[in-house]
Structure 1
């Protein structure tokens, strides 16, 4: 159907056709018609206080829901402000679409110095995200928007952008809305020869292990069935946590997996870059194109490039759910795993849990949070002492998508704004963000966004008046010359109250429990400060980069 509307409105019509009901964004001159379209269509608009947060919120929305997140910012500096979030979303495979403007058509590529002009905006973005689309012909608006959303969510998901020139976005024209293509089926066609070879390799294994990444989040049922057929423990480092619940007999955290690694004779990596066993447990400073040690390796990944970046013994290119189903069918009645492997798995989990208890006070606080947080509640860590303690399994994860990490980018400051997006996507579920004082201050202004839009996130700030990990590294490796690692911080309770949020302060895990229970029940913006002495937290790094089993 043809409609006489502005280019901005046409973009929004096509965005809605792709199933979007929420946009995170900040208006500005070049994209006024876009926001006019948002207003007319009565979309849920969340307006953060910084453009970077708009992209982080879209990422949290996408990562936690499996939907495609959408944000809108002005071109030039607005887009550049989102860059940290965009490369984070690229790293943790989050499907998000950024909507932006461009200088007027006649100025494109001229270098005249128009408002917010970049030398090559789309080219700049393409260097860090999956793709960048430009709508030059307004009649192609619907087709290009559809293509952008398909690109974001298909194959290895990731961020894309859409730009339209200022004058094109404001001009009224006749637009036709095209229906988006149906969601792609289960990826590329499976290579049957490779599938049979993989089944042969798996059937001979006595002590297999499965390691999941973000590419397995939608395949929990299929991964679980395959694991039970193989009696294989299932683990993950960050994004793949909870594909099989870590309180299931076969589900385990990273430290427990390291206990079994030396005896494992086959690793099946599912939608994972396998950073943990081959980098964290190996040489983090030396690139290897294929493993030089360890068990046989089968990789399942929808991205064929991964098979060249890190070459397995056998690669299966395809959607993880489809490949796991096919392997399950191939292996029926053929498995003969070592019966002692189940006992080894149970022992490894107990040994690991006991060992990591030395990482205090983080583990005591995490135990309280895990006890209070519902099984389907969401936990968003930060690059902090508490965050690193979750990497070693200090907070068991019970369901996929409930542990939202930054992935390999390790982006300080991502946690709080990302958690706001998680809560917007899941308003009826508990969401807890745990930050250090340093990381929280990267986006502290978004507490106003939480209050304005009544985003019921519970934010815990562990205040140790420092960039704690930097300070420890300077203590151990640089003669305690603390260069830029010690911080002054505000009174976080008064800070919260000044924004209209509830603020609390605790000093012990025992004090945290009733306060956290109260905050989750309130389902309103709440901030809890945990007071921690500078330098008091034990390091988790011996478990993140272990030289050997315990």
Structure 2
């Protein structure tokens, strides 16, 4: 077989770029490429459903901070993966999707599995609403240029997925290797936009002259790998830091300047601090609805009465939901580097604010005390707070945690301490049920020496339990803690509170996930008393292999001090939130 086939040269390119893993699933349109992967240094991570591979690639990219590679088949393969790719897109995670497509010489003939009801040879358009760009490779000689553009676009600006749809015959065409050699000469490190010292001085003086400024950090700080620069800045001036859900972990939860998560699942203390601030310094955040209590000024943010300074890599986010007095388009690591340098020149001794540190310490102690009874509760099924308390006591501080949606995501954001940036992976913008369990496998592949724990509900894990086949086959030592309340719990609590029914939200029969795990060849542990959970988790860490721990849980709602406008849509004027569902 010729070494100058597109499939061979593409694999050489990916190796040269440092790609070590490709996540995906086979199909007749991509096996010409897949078969050549076997001869390369790249590991193909084989799955049983494309959504699993997309979430694995997402988790992998969040840990490595480089674009992951996803391989898909056409038609149903591409649509199966779409949910995971869209989740990555809304959370700004870089990913290059390579998808097989119909043969180019069959355009217009409507061949097997083509999506063609509105136009011919238009598979790539399915992804157009959520990827940064979708290419179809119409000539083999275009492949080198497109793949180079794809990685650059995925990783620069606001990161995100891109799609390359490759007609299957293109993989088997010969081209001149010089076309790939040429793009390999292009830089892999592009200088990112910074900010001027003049603007940095203006921002610093604005903050210093504020009576009660608050830094509001989003997931963009993590994407820019700027957590250390943020810590240096906020500690120099003793400015407290609140964060969005996606900003969880950007500042350590044991810092005496960390307020915590805002919005619907934030506490009253945190929301009041951001609402009554005279200046909000926002970094890498879009002020999402749940984080901002549906943008209603009496709950979380009172902008423009509070003045806003907003830095983001994406110009579209500045002014989208709140008007900014100062707006800066910049990479956050670059911008904070300038801010730290200017801060030390203007205020070499820094500024101390013992009052805010004392307030935060007192509130943290009071919140912990109010939760302590639930954290020690021996009820069975377990209280969710007890589950989190036992996890906190057992896992190392540098463990990776993935969440799904529901109590595990909202409760962790509100109550579970995270000490290192980037150590919690959660589905934000798309809030995809089914993300947490496979994303943990991607994280473990990216960081094999780390403990990786997935906190996931039975509804979320039940989306794709076939991920266990990949875990067993690849020996990926992830620990899945299934917080099993036999329901789509958050929705059941909403429905019960507003409509006095749990129709369609509570399961009549709960699966035995430990038995399911064992059927796949994975260690499965069923917890039968409250006191069995902690030893089971300790055992799982010692085993260093894939383990499922099925933990029956009482379906209590996460306490909510913020606001979400859907409550007013359901029950106007009644101030009803969630309720417990038994």
- Structure 2: unaligned runs, 5 residues or longer: 262-266, 376-382, 566-574, 576-582
Tell me what 1:50 maps to: 49
Q: Deviations over 1:485-521 (max 9, x none)?
A: 3342222222111111111122455321111111112
Tell me what 1:65 maps to: 64
State the Cα distance separating 1:72 from its structure 2 match: 0.2
Matched, 1:242 2:249: yes
3-state DSSP of counterpart to 1:173:
coil
Instruction: Return the alpha-carbon distance in structure 1 between the equivalents of residues 102 and 270 of structure 2.
Output: 53
Instruction: Return the alpha-carbon distance in structure 1 between the equivalents of residues 535 and 354 of structure 2.
Output: 44
Tell me what 2:538 maps to: 517
Matched, 1:257 2:279: no
Contact 1:291–1:312 (Cα < 8 Å) also in 2: no
Q: 1:87 to 1:23 in 2, by over 3 A?
A: same
State the Cα distance separating 1:34 from its structure 2 match: 1.2
State the Cα distance separating 1:398 from its structure 2 match: 0.7
Q: Deviations over 1:514-533 (max 9, x none)?
A: 11111112110101010134
Tell me what 1:303 maps to: 314
Tell me what 1:362 maps to: 384
Q: CA RMSD in A?
A: 2.6
Q: Deviations over 1:406-458 (max 9, x none)?
A: 01211111111111111111111100111111111101011111011100000
Contact 1:432–1:459 (Cα < 8 Å) also in 2: yes
Q: 1:114 to 1:193 in 2, by over 3 A?
A: farther
Instruction: Return the alpha-carbon distance in structure 2 between the equivalents of residues 355 and 266 of structure 1.
Output: 30
Match of 2:559 among 527, 530, 540: 540
State the Cα distance separating 1:357 from its structure 2 match: 5.2
3-state DSSP of counterpart to 1:24:
strand
State the Cα distance separating 1:339 from its structure 2 match: 4.2
Q: 1:9 to 1:487 in 2, by over 3 A?
A: farther
3-state DSSP of counterpart to 1:297:
strand
Instruction: Return the alpha-carbon distance in structure 1 between the equivalents of residues 293 and 188 of structure 2.
Output: 36
3-state DSSP of counterpart to 1:485:
coil
Q: 1:276 to 1:245 in 2, by over 3 A?
A: farther
State the Cα distance separating 1:465 from its structure 2 match: 1.3
Tell me what 2:156 maps to: 154
State the Cα distance separating 1:379 from its structure 2 match: 0.7
Tell me what 1:349 maps to: 364
Tell me what 1:375 maps to: 397
Q: 1:441 to 1:116 in 2, by over 3 A?
A: same
TM-score (norm 1): 0.91
State the Cα distance separating 1:85 from its structure 2 match: 0.8
Contact 1:388–1:540 (Cα < 8 Å) also in 2: no
Contact 2:194–2:330 (Cα < 8 Å) also in 1: yes
Contact 1:206–1:338 (Cα < 8 Å) also in 2: no
3-state DSSP of counterpart to 2:30:
helix
Tell me what 2:480 maps to: 459
3-state DSSP of counterpart to 1:433:
strand
State the Cα distance separating 1:330 from its structure 2 match: 2.3
Runs of 4+ residues over 6 Å off in structure 1: none
Instruction: Return the alpha-carbon distance in structure 2 between the equivalents of residues 487 and 210 of structure 1.
Output: 46
Q: 1:258 to 1:179 in 2, by over 3 A?
A: same
Q: Deviations over 1:178-199 (max 9, x none)?
A: 3163344452242555434322
Instruction: Return the alpha-carbon distance in structure 2 between the equivalents of residues 359 and 380 of structure 1.
Output: 23
Instruction: Return the alpha-carbon distance in structure 2 between the equivalents of residues 57 and 50 of structure 1.
Output: 11
Tell me what 1:279 maps to: 292
Contact 2:25–2:73 (Cα < 8 Å) also in 1: yes
State the Cα distance separating 1:359 from its structure 2 match: 6.7
Q: 1:423 to 1:491 in 2, by over 3 A?
A: same
Contact 1:133–1:163 (Cα < 8 Å) also in 2: yes
The farther-off stretch of 87-96 and 353-362 is 353-362
Contact 2:219–2:244 (Cα < 8 Å) also in 1: no
The farther-off stretch of 488-497 and 153-162 is 488-497
Q: 1:494 to 1:180 in 2, by over 3 A?
A: farther
Q: 1:111 to 1:211 in 2, by over 3 A?
A: farther
Contact 2:441–2:476 (Cα < 8 Å) also in 1: yes
3-state DSSP of counterpart to 2:386:
helix
Q: Deviations over 1:70-93 (max 9, x none)?
A: 110102221111111111101111
The farther-off stretch of 153-162 and 133-142 is 133-142
Q: Deviations over 1:106-144 (max 9, x none)?
A: 233x26244334442222212111111232232232221
Instruction: Return the alpha-carbon distance in structure 2 between the equivalents of residues 435 and 262 of structure 1.
Output: 32
Tell me what 2:570 maps to: none
Instruction: Return the alpha-carbon distance in structure 1 between the equivalents of residues 385 and 53 of structure 2.
Output: 32
1:50-449 paired onto structure 2 within 5 Å: 50-108=49-107, 110=108, 112-118=110-116, 119=119, 120-176=122-178, 177=180, 178-179=183-184, 181-191=186-196, 193-217=198-222, 218-254=225-261, 255=267, 257-275=270-288, 279-280=292-293, 282-283=295-296, 292-293=303-304, 295-310=306-321, 311-332=323-344, 333-334=346-347, 336=351, 338-355=353-370, 361-392=383-414, 394-449=415-470
Q: 1:337 to 1:281 in 2, by over 3 A?
A: farther
Tell me what 2:571 maps to: none
Q: 1:298 to 1:355 in 2, by over 3 A?
A: farther
